[in-house]
Amino acid sequence: MFTFIVRRLIQTIPVLIGVTILTFSLMHLIPGDPAQILAGESASPQQIEQMRERLGLNDPIPVQYFTYLGNALQGDLGDSIRSGRAVTEEISSRFWVTVELAIYSTILSVFIGLIAGIISATKRYTLSDTLIMIVALFGLSMPNFWLGLMLIQWFAIGMDIGPINTGWFSASGWGSWQQVVLPVLTLGTAGAAIVARMTRSSMLEVIDQDYIRTARAKGVKQRVVIYRHALKNALIPVVTVVGLQFGALLGGAVLTETVFAINGLGRLIIDAIRARDFPVVQGTVLVFSLLFVLVNLLVDIAYRLLNKRIDLD
């Protein structure tokens, strides 16, 4: 196990270097001059040139990249062009907001998805199975931004249903439970649909195995057969999906954070791209990539915990 973890951590180095090269190249291909944006529209050519010199934008692109890479290896991701603050401070001030949003959404999707998938698999080809799969398909088909807007209309702005008004939650911000519920529902819905479909598929493969039939023949209760024997062996592909979803949520909550005006990393990177704030964009993408790699490592370790026969080394 230790050898496997060390080997995987070493393998992340070329991955992260590749991410920095790709991000650095793309940012320099985007139209727009950060020096012009920072100096202002009324700035003279001399002022813009002085700004470019101060930011190091007059250096050749390879020189800029290796300067950035050398500083990054020392933990210095540079300073924000917009605010002048260190990029690490910009990221750390919003990091836990996005992490909390991803964790809560993942918990919701796993909770709903596992229950729905198990019910669907144990009652296959029944009305319950059909309804669950239809709802799951609907959840997969809905764009997050559309669902978020609908939830705001229904449960933040509210609707009058007789004497009851459904404006129970907040439409923006992050912190109180009224602000958390709608964004988590928005992100957790699609994840629950994926988990439900994967759980059903995996459970159907497992419950037809010989050892499951043997356990039933011995008189083991159905609940014990499903949750102790079948579910544990069916969880490996589900864990893979959940891990990928969590990594995607960390970097893909951009639209949801924008719709609900949440000051997380997703909104930070959008604002930085608009302002051509190269250091913030590069630093945020690097953090996203590192988190995604670490999540994949944790998923691989979870395989070993679920099935002792898997040899990671």
Residue 111: per-residue pLDDT = 92
Per-residue pLDDT tens digits of the chain, which is 313 residues long: 677 677 777 877 888 888 888 887 877 777 666 777 666 667 777 877 887 777 777 778 788 888 888 888 888 888 887 777 888 888 888 888 888 888 999 999 999 998 998 888 888 888 988 898 888 888 888 888 888 888 888 888 877 776 777 778 888 888 788 888 999 998 888 888 889 988 888 888 888 777 777 777 877 777 777 777 777 778 888 888 888 888 777 765 778 888 888 888 888 888 888 777 878 888 888 888 888 888 877 877 777 676 665 555 5
Q: In this structure, what DSSP letter does residue 172 have?
A: S
Q: Domain 90-306 falls in which CATH fold?
A: MetI-like fold (1.10.3720)
Residue type, 213: R
Which pair of tokens denotes residue 233? 């062996």
What residues are paired with 160 via a beta bridge?
A: 165
CB 34 within 8 A of CB 57: yes
Indicate the domain borders of the chain: 2-73, 90-306
Contacts of 55 (CB under 8 A, 6+ apart): 34, 35, 38, 81
Instruction: Kindly report the number of other CB atoms within 10 A of residue 164's CB atom.
Output: 10
Residue 13: per-residue pLDDT = 81
Query: What long-range pairs does 26-34 form, CB within 8 A, spacing at least 24?
Result: 27/276, 27/278, 27/281, 27/282, 28/61, 28/278, 30/273, 30/276, 32/276, 33/276, 34/81, 34/275, 34/276, 34/277, 34/278
State the Cα–Cα distance between residues 174 and 186, nearest whole angstrom.
14
Return the sign of the alpha-carbon dihedral for residues 279, 281, 285, 291: positive
Token pair 């209760």 in the structure block, residue: 221
Residue 107: per-residue pLDDT = 92
* pTM beyond 0.85, yes or no: no
